[in-house]
Amino acid sequence: MAAWQRRHEASLPPFYMLADPALVTARARLLGEDIPLAEVNPAQAVASFSDVLPIVPLENRFIDTPGRPDKANAAGIVEAIDRAVADCFSGAAAAVVTCPIAKKPLYDAGFSFPGHTEYLAHLASGRAGRAVMPVMMLAGPELRTVPVTIHIALAEVPKALTTELVVETARITAADLRDRFGLADPRLAISGLNPHAGEDGAMGTEDRDIVAPAISTLRAEGINAFGPLPADTMFHASARARYDVALCMYHDQALIPAKALAFDDAVNVTLGLPFIRTSPDHGTAFDIAGKGIARPDSLIAALKLAGRMALTGRTAETA
């Protein structure tokens, strides 16, 4: 709701909410906000967006207990994701912008996917008729980062890291930077895994034996990749000027600099999907739910980036 209230000053692209209208109405009343709402179908959203917050109603209803997740809401959450993806494939929507979800209630209700991203990849694979590999990118005004391995324990990273994984992650990243960000020749800086990128095997052999061969393969394919680079010298201003995205070997190596530079307006982008997906880079923040103090900055950034990506993609298709 707060993002819609700032639609004009933030120059937001038109969007609609897939939601339970009763929940949105109750939340507005709780916060003392007089927000005009309208139940619409996707085709009506653009025309109504300037005057009302368009809501495409879900069939499932929600229990509204701010700050207290409930597994009874799992069906509605999954329905919203399903319908958003379906709307993209039908052409009713240009992108999916997801808000944070609480995973524990979903698991309690029988949801078998680790999170949003894996479920979106599952839906995309089914509709595309091929396996889809999602790639996570954090995008801020000054830095884009991609973790090659994501939500696994640090001790498991060296076991999971392969030359093939680095290569495929970089291929997907380069392709989406070209097709959806409009970069003709994206520059990929690739970090090492170990301190000082391994010092040629003195501090671990993964950079020499896994990462370096991946970079050679990418360069042979015409992808502008370089490294492996020591991660501790990759993120100052002059270093960032040399590349368009940093591929990092594990979660915190990528997310710490991204969030340090743009905690309130970084965007989580899922690359590799046959549709655009962005989301805020923060979590559910149950401790402040229903208090009216949550900042909409990251959601606004996610909406704006989705709009720019959609426009870039359409321009590329007609060129």
Res 316 pLDDT > 60: no
Number of C-beta neighbours around residue 318 at 10 A: 6
Q: Over the Cα atoms of the chain, what is R_g?
A: 21
Res 165 pLDDT > 50: yes
Measured distance CA(290)–CA(18) in Å, rounded: 19
Residue 43 confidence (pLDDT)? 92
Residue 54 C-beta-side C-alpha neighbours within 13 Å:
18
Which CATH number does the domain 1-137+265-319 belong to among 3.40.30.10, 3.30.70.20, 3.60.20.10, 3.40.718.10? 3.40.718.10
Least trusted range by pLDDT, from 20-29, 154-163, 185-194, 207-216: 20-29
Res 14 pLDDT > 50: yes
Task: List strands edge to edge, sheet with 245-248.
Answer: 95-97, 276-280, 267-271, 135-139, 144-147, 245-248, 187-191, 224-229
Measured distance CA(71)–CA(83) in Å, rounded: 19
Measured distance CA(263)–CA(265) in Å, rounded: 6
Contact 20, 80 (CB under 8 A): no
Residue 314 confidence (pLDDT)? 63
Contact 227, 243 (CB under 8 A): no
Residue 262 confidence (pLDDT)? 87
Using CB atoms within 10 Å of the CB of residue 179, give its burial: 0 to 12 exposed, 13 to 18 middle, 19+ buried: middle
pTM: 0.90
- % the chain with pLDDT above 70: 97
Contacts of 289 (CB under 8 A, 6+ apart): 66, 67
Higher-pLDDT residue of 68, 195: 195
Least trusted range by pLDDT, from 34-48, 164-178, 245-259, 281-295: 281-295
Contact 163, 173 (CB under 8 A): no
Res 4 pLDDT > 80: yes
Q: What is the mean pLDDT of residues 183-188?
A: 97
In tens, the pLDDT along 78-104 reads: 999 999 999 999 999 999 999 888 888
Higher-pLDDT residue of 314, 159: 159
Measured distance CA(274)–CA(125) in Å, rounded: 9
Please provide the average confidence, as pLDDT, over all residues in the chain.
Answer: 91
Same fold, 1-137+265-319 and 142-261: yes
| CATH class of this structure's domain 142-261 | alpha beta
Q: What is the mean pLDDT of residues 191-208?
A: 91
Q: What is the mean pLDDT of residues 217-245?
A: 97
Measured distance CA(94)–CA(209) in Å, rounded: 41
Q: In 3-state terms, what secondary structure has residue 272?
A: coil
Residue 318 confidence (pLDDT)? 42
Name the residue ranges covered by the structural domains of the chain.
1-137+265-319, 142-261
Residue 286 confidence (pLDDT)? 72
Q: What is the mean pLDDT of residues 247-265?
A: 92
In the structure, what pLDDT confidence band is assigned to residue 210 with cuts at 50, 70 and 90?
very high
